[in-house]
Amino acid sequence: MFKRIFFLGILAGILAAVAGIIYNRIYFFATETDFSKVLNTASLIGFNLLICLTASFLYWALVYWLKRKGEIVFNFLFAILSFAMVIIPISISLPLEIKNPELFPGLAVPMIFFPALAWHTLKPLLIKDQGFMQKQ
């Protein structure tokens, strides 16, 4: 079971990173504002892999310890932490040489949700239900 969860974390991190890179390029061409000094391809890949691998370890631990309630607790925590992390790009101080710093939250806030979206997109494909719909 742990191998599948770990594999889910890696795949979700890769999917979220690809989505973030694509969104970064689209945002650059739409606004013509370059935030590559703050948010580049390497940081997008690292952030998404870190979040998704951390989520996979947390998911495994919660399902291991809490059994059937673990998935509910994990989903709740992942959603709450994703919304709480929105404060990071809103409150960050950008270097003075960056043009249009007011556009940075428009780039970074949607990216905060990419790991959770990737996780919940791939989870039904890789991990079977933990017993909510199964007979007791």
Q: What is the pLDDT of residues 20-40, one digit of tens each?
A: 999 999 999 999 888 988 889
Half-sphere exposure of 112 (CA within 13 A, CB side): 20
Q: Enumerate residues 6+ apart whose C-beta is below 8 A from 118.
A: 11, 12, 13, 15, 16, 19, 48, 52
Residue 6 burial by Cβ neighbours in a 10 Å radius (0-12, 13-18, 19+): middle
**Which H or E run includes 23?**
helix 2-31
To the question of pTM greater than 0.95 for the whole model, the response is no
* 129 band by pLDDT with thresholds 50, 70 and 90: low
